[in-house]
Homo-oligomer: A and B are copies of this chain.
């Protein structure tokens, strides 16, 4: 296959004609396909239906210490849920608070609390002239939406195959006291799919922030979301590493069972130092009497232990793996040789991150839409929705069926080709 950039204008025009014809065909097929959000498929949801039976009307809904899970109380979660989620995120149960169904909500509340009450005695951020966050890009749009909502200035940090550009992170964090945090999805990252290298995590743990209320917002959303049993990424556990580095209070770690059991009905948590927990609980006890302990118990009874979660995740992997492989194979077969796009081959998570030629992402997404395939809006993985190179497209293969996906990826490929040819032709003018 010859790279498009090496082709003559005539060859490109010839290729365009062929590709356009295929595109037209798809356009006429009235497709309605969606690769836009990281939603589990129905088959994945079905894996957790057994959870509906573990607590029946004749079940004992008391937890191990005798607490009746049906009644008020237990602000920070039942112990066995802390053990289960602790094993999942490699943390001591004592460092955990169990929340409701959404880790996003926990992150929002964490920022909101810092705005109104500061962090461990610091000035509330709403009283400061300027608050900034570092945002490794591309990243998770809902993270950036939170900081934008609170008027926090976001600074882009380039992502490499090892994680965020740590030279830049270190320089900024140590020199600017208005920088209060950094958003991270360190494992099977959203959307790049990479996992932070050992060196990256160690450098994170050794940061010397100018702001004492600087925290790393470590969203371990895909910690156990592997595609393979053996070929897995490993991520250094950040709480322990921060402790070793003498920075025990520098990180908030977030996780949930959203893409393990049911996305709307899982259990979320925060893990952090005892000092931070004390700070958080001062607020939490005012905010609520406690979260849904029956649902915590339901998760514990269904998964039993971390082995149960692991086995369950391998069933998810069996459904996800062919989808990832389908997309990656087709991209490899159709795009690699043409040199009109790059991507990373992830070993887990929910996304493939396609990097198109500069200035092409919006047009590709728009082309896809016109042919009935919904992609994540171009720009979404960047603060303020602005991709400086207009090149990143997040592909979310989880929700469509294999059959739909087979069609969707072909449409996507044709759109990439078409928009890339147009760009190259334009450059020849």
Contact = CB atoms under 8 A, between A and B. Distances in A.
A45 B57 contact: no
A351 to B, nearest CB: 15
A287 interface: yes
A101 B124 CA distance: 28
Contacts of A146: 286-287
A230 interface: no
A243 interface: no
The count of identical subunits is 2
Interface string A91-127: 0000000001110110011001001110000001011
B288 A102 contact: yes
Question: Helix, strand, loop or mixed for chain A's interface?
Answer: loop
B263 A71 contact: yes
B295 A292 contact: yes
A263 B72 contact: yes
B105 A116 contact: no
Interface string A64-107: 00001111111000000000000000000000000011101100
A263 B149 contact: no
A367 interface: no
A286 B72 contact: no
Contact of A105 (B117, B287, B295): B287
Contact of A265 (B37, B57, B127, B295): B295
A410 to B, nearest CB: 26
Contact of A294 (B127, B264, B286): B264
Contacts of A149: 117, 283, 286
Contacts of A59: 52
Contact of A292 (B70, B72, B292): B292
A100 B116 CA distance: 22
Interface in A246-274: 258, 262-265
A55 interface: yes
Given A50-B57, A71-B45, A264 B292 contact: yes
Contacts of A286: 108, 142, 145-146, 149
A53 interface: yes
A150 interface: yes
Nearest to A50: B57
A163 interface: no
A290 B266 CA distance: 11
Given A71-B40, A292-B265, A116 B112 contact: yes
A56 to B, nearest CB: 5
A168 interface: no
A101 B142 CA distance: 23
A264 B287 contact: no
A49 interface: yes
A74 to B, nearest CB: 8
Most B CB contacts (10 A, CB to CB) among A37, A74, A262 go to A262
Interface string A10-52: 0000000000000000000000000001011010010011111
Given A39-B72, A263-B289, 16 more contacts: A48-B70, A49-B57, A53-B56, A56-B56, A69-B265, A70-B265, A72-B264, A101-B291, A102-B288, A112-B116, A116-B116, A116-B126, A126-B127, A149-B286, A264-B290, A265-B293
